[in-house]
Copies of this chain bind each other. A is one copy, B any other.
Amino acid sequence: MSHPSQPPSPPGFSALSAAAEPPVIADLMQRALANPHLLSLAAGFTDNALLPGPAIAESVAALSSQEEPPAFLQYGSNAGRPRLRELILRWVGSFPGERLERFDPASVLVTNGSQQALYLAAQTLCDPGDIVLVESPSYFVFLELLRGLGLRAVPLPVDPTGALQPEAIRARLAELSARGLRARVKACYLMGYHANPSARSLSLDEKNTLPALLREAGLVIPVIEDGAYRDLCFEAPHAVPSVLSLTAWEGFPRLYLGTFTKPLATGLKVGYGICDSPEWRARLLTAKGHQDFGTSHFNQAIVEHLLAHGRYQPHLDAIRPAYAAKARRLDSALRAGGLEDAGWRWSFPEGGLLLWLEGPPDLATGPDSAFCARCLEAGVLYVPGSLCFVDREPDHFVRLSFGAIAADRIDEAASRFCGVARSFG
């Protein structure tokens, strides 16, 4: 036995692992630690004060008293608890315009947050070098995972309001064909509801036009719709149904993702997918079987208990106005801080945890920018918008989250941000 003080030489790594970049955001978080008084408008966390502590403790107590022996603490199946999958279908089916009668619980798989479902989806569909169509901007962790798997993201062009732009999309798809890349386009990834980072929801028109353009380009490819923020609307749910219920997407293999992570408790990590292709779902499950052969059964039992006993909707009824109030407070504080006069523009969202700000076109806001450094000095952290674009361009957007920050710190954080923005104005 010994205590070598030197670690071993690093092993040889797989080509993908050797090429994988560590998350850019991790480096930013690390730099942020230098300022202990920092206020973060960056973290994708939710508000600790809005987490359902009592409901979950009561649910565990109820499960413990009802199930003896405590089978909810045992392994479950790889696909997830059957009753939970049934309740998930019923939940998603309750949104406006959804018609999920053709699905049964065998169409559903429970995952470690919707993040794992995204990973499984990319992994089952794509070989290194393949292409996934994404919105612009798109979810930056998804862009990172695509790079980690050696895949290429190709953005779907949008207009200045962020809406999908049919003519430009048609041209982009034609260009892929002309370059001989059509056969490499393996999937299309959309966030239909209060997207990360844009906070936009897709309109019915956008959602119906895109599949027509894809079909026209010979791309009847799998579509992944990520509804991670759907339950976090401020008032009424967004009126447009998911791709699962839209005729325009008929014939496209469809995977709709949702989660209880953001809206219920980020610490539980229970997400789900609903898939209309039995072959795809089987392959998602085979890959999941290798990764963990099933999401924590205990956490599934808790979510199932809350859904089955009608406790999820009241929780949402409580937190939706609270997040709406935080969004308004951040929006007002930014306006009061003179951000518009400094050349910034943004829309007020209908839900989610984010504001997506466009700065003056000549302002760089990336991780290495002077603006970013000054914000860190001033004690406020944001997510550089460039991370959410495939080519890290444009570089004058900023994602602000009102999720984690305490409501009474929002004014101060906004004031710091506006102070820096004005000084660059």
Contact = CB atoms under 8 A, between A and B. Distances in A.
Interface string A289-305: 11111111111010000
A266 interface: yes
Interface in A3-55: 3-5, 7-18, 20-23, 26, 44-46, 48-49, 51-54
A23 B68 contact: no
Enumerate the 4 nearest inter-chain pairs by beta-carbon distance, A residue then B residue, closest first: A53-B70, A10-B279, A145-B290, A48-B69
A21 to B, nearest CB: 8
Interface residues of A, number: 107
Nearest to A64: B57
A4, A15, A60, A247: residue with the most chain B Cβ atoms closer than 10 Å? A60
Nearest to A29: B77
A290 B148 contact: yes
A398 interface: no
Interface stretch (A231-239, A250-258, A367-375): A250-258
Contacts of A289: 23, 26, 141, 144
A124 interface: yes
Contact of A73 (B21, B53, B221): B53
Q: Report how many copies the assembly holds.
A: 2
A257 to B, nearest CB: 13
B74 A46 contact: yes
A124 B13 contact: yes
Interface stretch (A113-121, A347-355, A410-418): A113-121
Given A8-B254, A56-B60, A75-B267, 10 more contacts: A9-B220, A11-B186, A14-B125, A18-B283, A53-B69, A53-B73, A73-B266, A116-B291, A119-B291, A296-B296
A102 interface: yes
A112 interface: yes
A interface secondary structure, majority: loop
22 contacts: A2-B99, A4-B102, A7-B278, A10-B277, A11-B186, A11-B187, A11-B280, A13-B279, A48-B70, A56-B298, A60-B61, A61-B61, A73-B267, A74-B266, A74-B267, A75-B267, A112-B296, A148-B286, A265-B298, A266-B297, A267-B301, A299-B299
Given A48-B74, A112-B112, A290-B144, A20 B283 contact: yes
Contacts of A267: 72-76, 296-298, 301
A126 to B, nearest CB: 5
A292 B112 contact: yes
A346 to B, nearest CB: 25
